[in-house]
């Protein structure tokens, strides 16, 4: 019998709520079949369930624990993650709680040797980084799910068995009141780095694990420092290793440092030793103040991914699909993009609106993204935790040069998690001769329209047609395209960008008097963009036609 | 200050290549290997004044 902890987890800043286990109808003989079952209510499973529901797909969400994440774990949301949460309609509490930031500074031998500016465009709504603890990320998503009738979130429900067949899967679920079986059309494995589903299916990840271990410790202290990422290479108290400092909400600071080679996790977490090192870090940042410990853990870096994210009726997302180094904030941010890429496809497939082959392109796009990240993050990891003498010598050479030379400073900046462009996706249609704008496969670019108004605010659910009208309004050809979108078999939200007000239209009209949207999209009158429900562009035309739209929609649903 | 000539991507690739080459050489032969590498690069550079500039930059901040 599964017995999840019923005492709130300890924390000095976060009040854990213990959710009740509720006996599901299947335990009393009801023979239901759910279209989709999401396993694991971490950030990625929660967002997947929410997005499925927003697209009209009912799901059960099984979570083995009764409360949210132990410890703050993933603490940085990238701009893309913020955009994804915004289109899911849940960003408000994140912005109210989180701490936005744009740059980091790196120090060596007591000198600032590198300043990392994360790219920011004035047209973007969100700053490049938003620091917020994983407990809050999960809490806010759980709150949104509570208001969503299509999701049945079951706490204290641990998946212990999985049998797949051609029509679906049967899950064995262990609970505080015993086991039951759940029949489902599709399974989403969002059960984290130690995925039980990965194990049950006998799947192995590919890639490598790195030897260096890191401690992360969250403390409460009054440091009075701004929100930025600080990185110290080779400090006196920890020769050859590095230290990262991040600010979190609620007066919490994340300290992250590499352990001397050969030191065990137990030794590193021994309270007296840990306290000495925290004191050394605070002295190093010039703030030797009293502090209180919230949570500490040891982790190591891997660049591992499953070679295929769809296995039979099971789709993998987040840490269950890949384990990535957290340098460059890849953990949860990569997973959010997985959830976003999977949920719309699975919603269409589960609702019978698209063939199940559509899911192949999910795997293709996201395994490709993960492999790219493994390659990039592998470089950062080899810099932060040199795996051999050769890499250590090269790292030391670069650091030494940074004190007097600029040519290799950029090696101190590990590339940060960014939105992926699915340029080679089979869902993309031909690209209609644009100069600039947003290429097929890339996410829609945001455009600032007013003080608190952006293009993304106007996006609807489902596919998105953005049509560009001239000063006289849409011409007959564009009218035909808008009509075709309204009558399409699949939901297509229509946005009409117009230089002048167009009262009484059925579409949502966005005013663009200065042509700023048109310029950013390199679009003249009669042009149109089609974006998938995850806001990645899949087709665009300088002169759109109903036939082109139908063909592009079919292709984007895996029918092309 | 040395001019920046390699792109970041090229620099990253060179970084990995040299690190791997260093690892392939036994520890007691690394100095010899690095001296040979410097000489070969100087020859390819074809400009003693630039070599002098590089030597000066490399000699700083060694402790
Ligand atoms: C110690 C630690 C520190 C980290 N620090 C950072 C960081 O600083 N920055 C960063 O970006 N990332 C960090 N990460 C990674 C980040 O937490 C993950 O990338 C992110 O949480 C992935 O989300 P997920 O939803 O895929 O998995 P998880 O958050 O792990 O969620 C998986 C969920 O599935 C549930 N579950 C597991 N097995 C079952 C089962 N059999 N049945 C039902 N439910 C199940 C679990 O209880 C859990 O709620 C850290 C991770 C760890 C472990």
Q: Are A538 and A429 in contact (CB under 8 A)?
A: yes
With 0-12 / 13-18 / 19 or more C-beta atoms within 10 angstroms meaning exposed / middle / buried, residue A171 is buried
| Distance, CA of A14 to CA of A74 (rounded, Å) | 15
Delimiting residues of CATH 3.50.50.60 domain(s) in chain A: 25-98+124-206+306-364
pLDDT at B59 over 90: yes
Total domain count for chain B? 1
**What part of A 318-377 touches B (C-beta under 8 Å)?**
none
B38 inside domain: yes
Q: Which is nearest to A97 in space by CA: A141, A160, A44?
A: A141
Q: Are A90 and A53 in contact (CB under 8 A)?
A: no
Q: Are A393 and B19 a contacting pair at CB < 8 A?
A: yes
Q: Are A13 and A294 in contact (CB under 8 A)?
A: yes
What is the model's pLDDT at position A560? 66
| Distance, CA of A495 to CA of A506 (rounded, Å) | 10
Could you identify the residue written with the tokens 């420092």? A225
| Distance, CA of A268 to CA of A255 (rounded, Å) | 14
Residues of chain B contacting A233 with CB distance shorter than 8 Å? none
pTM of the model: 0.95
B3 inside domain: no
Q: Which is nearest to A520 in space by CA: A497, A503, A544, A536?
A: A497
Helix, strand, coil tally for chain B in percent (to 5)? 75, 0, 25
Residue from B1, B8, B9, B12 whose CB has the most chain A CBs within 10 Å, to mutate:
B12
Is A405's Cβ below 8 Å from some Cβ in B?
A: yes
Residue from B61, B62, B63 whose CB has the most chain A CBs within 10 Å, to mutate:
B61
Structure tokens that stand for A259 in this block = 């352990």
Structure tokens that stand for A158 in this block = 């641990």
What is the model's pLDDT at position A279? 97
What is the model's pLDDT at position A326? 77
B15 inside domain: no
How many other CB atoms sit within 10 Å of the CB of residue A496?
A: 23
Nearest-10 Cα torsion for A529, A317, A415, A120: 40
A502 CB-near residues (< 8 Å, 6+ apart): A469, A473, A496, A509
**What part of B 16-35 touches A (C-beta under 8 Å)?**
16, 18-24, 27, 30
B50 inside domain: yes
Count of CB pairs separated by less than 8 Å, A with B? 59
What is the model's pLDDT at position A427? 97
Q: Are A303 and A325 in contact (CB under 8 A)?
A: yes
Atom index in ligand 1 nearest the CA of residue A46 equals 25
Expressed as residue numbers, the domain containing B59 is 29-63
Centroid of ligand 1 to alpha carbon of A337 (angstroms): 15
Q: Are B18 and A390 a contacting pair at CB < 8 A?
A: yes
Decide the pairing of beta strands A129-131 and A242-248: unpaired
| Distance, CA of A424 to CA of A439 (rounded, Å) | 11
Strand residue runs (E) in A166-205:
168-175, 178-189
Long-range (24+ apart) CB contacts under 8 A made by B7-11 are: B8/A410, B8/A411, B11/A407, B11/A408, B11/A410, B11/A411
Q: Are A535 and A450 in contact (CB under 8 A)?
A: no
ipTM: 0.97
Annotate A487-542 with DSSP letters as a single string: TSSS-EEEEEEESS--TT-SSEEEE-TT-HHHHHTT--TT-EEEE-TTSBEEEEES
A25-98+124-206+306-364: CATH superfamily: FAD/NAD(P)-binding domain (3.50.50.60)
A480 CB-near residues (< 8 Å, 6+ apart): A545, A546
* Interval A70-94: pLDDT, tens: 999 999 999 999 999 999 999 999 9
| Regions in chain A scoring below 70 on pLDDT | 414, 560
What is the model's pLDDT at position A414? 67
How many other CB atoms sit within 10 Å of the CB of residue A511?
A: 16
Question: By alpha-carbon position, which residue is closest to atom 4 of ligand 1?
Answer: A73
Residue whose CB lies within 8 A of the most ligand 1 atoms, among A5, A21, A40, for a mutation test: A40
Name the residue facing B12 among A109, A379, A405 (closest C-beta): A379
Residues of chain A contacting B12 with CB distance shorter than 8 Å? 379, 411
B18 inside domain: no
Buried b (16+ CB within 10 A) or exposed e, A280-304: bbbebbebeeebeebbbbbbbbbbb
Centroid of ligand 1 to alpha carbon of A294 (angstroms): 18
Pocket of ligand 1 (CB under 6 A): A 39-45, 62-65, 73-75, 134, 158-159, 190-193, 196, 216, 297, 299, 318-320, 326, 329, 331-332, 335
What is the model's pLDDT at position A4? 97
Is A7's Cβ below 8 Å from some Cβ in B?
A: no
Chain A residue nearest residue B21, CA to CA? A390
Q: Are A34 and A24 in contact (CB under 8 A)?
A: no
| Distance, CA of A55 to CA of A346 (rounded, Å) | 10
Chain B residue nearest residue A393, CA to CA? B19
Q: In degrees rounded to 5, what are phi and psi of residue A218?
A: -105, 125
Q: Are A94 and A54 in contact (CB under 8 A)?
A: no
Could you identify the residue written with the tokens 């809490």? A139
Is A390's Cβ below 8 Å from some Cβ in B?
A: yes
B10 inside domain: no
Delimiting residues of CATH 3.40.30.120 domain(s) in chain A: 448-556
Residues of chain B contacting A113 with CB distance shorter than 8 Å? none
| Distance, CA of A469 to CA of A187 (rounded, Å) | 43
Q: Are B12 and A407 a contacting pair at CB < 8 A?
A: no
**What part of A 81-110 touches B (C-beta under 8 Å)?**
109
Q: Are B19 and A404 a contacting pair at CB < 8 A?
A: no
Is B13's Cβ below 8 Å from some Cβ in A?
A: no
Is B50's Cβ below 8 Å from some Cβ in A?
A: no
Centroid of ligand 1 to alpha carbon of A42 (angstroms): 6
Residues of chain B contacting A410 with CB distance shorter than 8 Å? 8, 11
Report the CATH fold assignment for A448-556: Glutaredoxin (3.40.30)
B17 inside domain: no
């Amino acid at each position: 019998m599964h017995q999840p902890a019923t005492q709130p987890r300890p924390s000095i800043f976060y009040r854990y709520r213990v959710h009740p286990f509720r006996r599901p109808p299947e335990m009393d003989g009801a023979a239901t079949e759910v279209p989709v079952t999401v396993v694991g209510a971490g950030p990625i499973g929660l967002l997947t369930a929410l997005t499925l529901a927003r697209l009209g797909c009912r799901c059960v969400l099984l979570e083995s624990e009764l409360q949210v994440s132990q410890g703050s774990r993933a603490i940085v949301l990238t701009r893309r993650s913020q955009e994804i949460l915004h289109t899911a309609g849940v960003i408000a509490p994140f912005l109210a709680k989180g701490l936005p930031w744009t740059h980091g500074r790196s120090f060596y031998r007591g000198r600032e040797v590198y300043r990392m500016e994360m790219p920011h465009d004035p047209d973007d709504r969100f700053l490049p980084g938003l620091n917020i603890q994983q407990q809050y990320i999960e809490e806010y998503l759980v709150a949104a799910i509570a208001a969503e009738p299509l999701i049945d979130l079951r706490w204290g429900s641990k998946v212990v068995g999985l049998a797949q067949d051609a029509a679906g899967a049967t899950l064995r679920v262990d609970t505080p009141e015993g086991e039951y079986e759940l029949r489902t059309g599709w399974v989403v494995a969002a059960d984290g780095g130690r995925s039980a589903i990965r194990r049950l299916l006998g799947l192995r990840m590919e890639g490598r694990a790195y030897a260096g271990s890191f401690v992360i410790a969250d403390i409460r202290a009054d440091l009075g420092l701004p929100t930025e990422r600080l990185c110290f290479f080779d400090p006196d108290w920890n020769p050859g290793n590095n230290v990262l400092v991040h600010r979190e909400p609620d007066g919490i600071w994340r300290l992250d440092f590499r352990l001397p080679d050969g030191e065990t996790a137990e030794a590193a977490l021994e309270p007296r030793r840990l306290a000495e090192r925290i004191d050394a870090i605070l002295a190093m940042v010039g703030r030797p103040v009293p502090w209180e410990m919230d949570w500490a853990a040891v982790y190591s870096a891997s660049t591992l991914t499953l070679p295929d994210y769809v296995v039979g009726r099971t789709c993998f997302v987040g840490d269950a699909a890949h384990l990535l180094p957290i340098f460059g904030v890849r953990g949860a941010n990569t997973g959010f993009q997985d959830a976003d890429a999977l949920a719309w496809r699975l919603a269409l497939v589960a609702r019978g609106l698209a063939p199940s082959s559509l899911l192949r392109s999910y795997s293709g796009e996201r395994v490709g993204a993960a492999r790219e990240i493994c390659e990039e993050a592998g470089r950062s990891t080899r810099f932060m935790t040199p795996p051999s003498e050769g890499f250590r010598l090269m790292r030391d050479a670069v650091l030494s040069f940074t004190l007097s030379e600029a040519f290799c400073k950029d090696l101190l900046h590990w590339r940060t998690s960014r939105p992926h462009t699915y340029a080679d996706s089979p869902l993309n249609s031909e690209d209609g001769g644009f100069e600039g704008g947003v290429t097929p496969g890339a996410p829609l670019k945001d455009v600032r329209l007013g003080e608190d108004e952006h293009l993304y605010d106007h996006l609807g659910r489902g596919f998105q047609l953005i049509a560009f009208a001239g000063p006289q309004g849409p011409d007959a050809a564009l009218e035909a395209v808008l009509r075709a979108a309204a009558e399409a078999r699949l939901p297509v939200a229509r946005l009409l960008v117009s230089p002048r007000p167009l009262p009484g239209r059925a579409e949502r009209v966005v005013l663009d008097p200065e042509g700023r949207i048109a310029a950013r999209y390199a679009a003249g009158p009669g042009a149109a963009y089609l974006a998938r429900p995850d806001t990645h562009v899949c087709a665009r035309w300088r002169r759109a036609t109903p036939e082109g739209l139908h063909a592009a929609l079919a292709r984007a649903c895996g029918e092309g | 200050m040395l001019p920046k000539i390699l792109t970041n991507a090229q620099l990253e690739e060179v970084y990995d290549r040299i690190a791997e080459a260093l690892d392939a050489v036994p520890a007691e032969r690394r100095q010899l290997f690095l001296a040979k590498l410097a000489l070969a690069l100087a020859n390819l550079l074809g400009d003693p004044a630039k070599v002098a500039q590089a030597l000066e930059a490399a000699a700083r901040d060694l402790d």
